[in-house]
Structure 1
Amino acid sequence: MNDNADHLVIEKVLAGDLQAYGELVERYQDFVFTNCLRILKSREEAEEVAQDSFLKAFHSLKSFRGDSKFSTWLYRIAYHKSLDKLKKLNREQHFQVVEEITESDSAGLENGLDCLLREERLALVEEAVKSLPEIDAAIINYYYFDELPVKEIATITALSEDNIKIRLYRGRKQLFSYLKQYINPEISRNNGKAI
């Protein structure tokens, strides 16, 4: 999104036009929700944290200095709120993983086999990413799926750029280990030795 457009809206809100904040919510709600969902893996919890993130951003808008993009600042709030919620849920031992299954209504219109293979690959990759620790999964999602640069991920997560690069490298290795059993099951069954 255009940083200038965000700053104009922020100026309106700070000048007293509270309705203008709705533009920012509308602009970023899907991305904030998706990132909360990736960490929390529960639609209900992600909706709650996304709303809390927008509320916190609204109440903290005066403290936004503009050193980074508004979207980066907002995503950082959502990221930390998601981790806080995850810790709370783990402490209370009420955390449950919710799998969301989507069916493609257009599968019959496309080549059914191609659609199925694409969905299976996507589901397999999503499952592999879910097997990573939450922070590593979030970093992989930010980098590969949201295509955010390392610098912006570092700002969102409050980790150094070097730490992000290390986690990306380690995450790729873990994903490969997870996925190799599906890529070549014969090698996995024989402890890494091809037959």
Structure 2
Amino acid sequence: MNEGAEGMALRWFAGTARRSRAPVEDETVLARVADGDAAALGELYERYSRPLFAFLFRLAGDRGTAEEILQDTLLAVWRSAGTYRSRSSVSTWLFGVARRQAHNRLRGLPPPLPADPADGADPVPGPEELAVGGDRVQQTLARLPLAQREVVVLAYLNDLGHQEIADILAIPVGTVKSRLHHARATLRGCIDARVD
């Protein structure tokens, strides 16, 4: 299979989306947010906006909606930073907040169809578009039920382990594994259908 730009972009993104190497520093920054330090919220944004946006984009299927959910997430972090209790890493907690905001926004809505590029739009994707994959990847992910889509995005695009995913989604590790198994079967069917 030819990897192409999408495969390279996904590998690049997986490398940039790894957990912060300074969990204690993340906790310190989040404590500053809880104390009302807006600059600390900016630091968290700088560290986590890219992987959170990619996660939300994969769930929402639409750039504008993902950006709105990311803003909702930041507002929720600002309001609830004091509730963080160190039971998980800050990154896991942030993904959990983002997931809840996405579910609040997307509840009952079908994934949007990819928009046609505007007249005169640049056909070459920028770095951010490459980081979140192409239309083919998004269309294939959109075929998955939301519960399966979120485990696939967290596992393969955010490079999180089963336990971290279970913590974010508040489900048992066995359920994470089951959802990944069913998602892989669905994705395999989509790929086989395209090959035929």
TM range (shorter): 0.7 to 0.9
How has the CA–CA distance of structure 1 residues 105 and 173 changed in structure 2, closer, same or farther, with 3 Å as cutoff? closer
Counterpart Cα distance in 2 of 1:100 and 1:155: 37
**Identity between Structure 1 and Structure 2 (%):** 27
- Cα pair distance change 1:176/1:66, threshold 3 Å: same
Relative contact order, higher structure (CA 8 A, sep 6+): 2
Q: Give 1:96 deviation, angstroms.
A: 3.4
Counterpart amino acid of residue 80 in structure 1? R
CA drift of 1:56 comes to: 0.8
Q: How does 1:130-145 map to 2 (within 5 A)?
A: 130-145=142-157
8 Å Cα contact 1:41-1:99 kept in structure 2:
no
Partner of 1:191: none
Instruction: Kindly provide the CA deviation profile for residues 104-157 of structure 1, in whole angstroms up to 9, marking residues without a partner as x.
Output: 479xxxxxxxxxxxxxx9654442222111221111111112211011111111
Question: Residue 188 of structure 2 corresponds to which residue in structure 1?
Answer: 176
Q: Closer, same or farther in 2 for the Cα pair 1:151/1:86, shift >3 Å?
A: same
Residue from 82, 97, 105 that aligns with 1:77: 97
**Aligned-partner Cα distance in 2 for 1:85–1:58:** 18
- The unaligned stretches of length 5 or more in structure 2 are 1-19, 127-132
Q: Between Structure 1 and Structure 2, whose CA radius of gyration is higher?
A: 1
Distance in 2, Cα, partners of 1:57 & 1:136: 25
AA aligned to 1:49 is I
**Separation (CA, whole Å) in 2 of partners of 1:99 and 1:155:** 33
Q: Which residue identity does 1:76 align to in structure 2?
A: G
Whether 1:54 and 2:70 are equivalent positions in the alignment is no
Output aligned runs, 1:101-120, within 5 Å: 103-104=123-124
Instruction: Indicate whether 1:22 and 2:42 are aligned.
Output: yes
User: Is the aligned partner of 1:147 residue 2:149?
Assistant: no
Contact 1:33–1:46 (Cα < 8 Å) also in 2:
yes
Say how many residue pairs are matched.
166
Alpha carbons 2:144, 2:183 under 8 Å: kept: yes
Uncovered stretches (5+) of structure 1, i.e. residues with no partner: 107-120, 186-195
**Partners in 1 of 2:38 and 2:98 — Cα distance?**
21
CA RMSD of aligned residues (A): 2.5
- Aligned equivalent of 1:8: 28
Alpha-carbon distance between aligned partners in 2 of 1:105 and 1:43, rounded to the nearest angstrom: 13
- Superposition TM-score, scaled by structure 2 size: 0.75
2:51 matches 1:39: no
CA contact (8 A) 2:60 2:112 kept: no
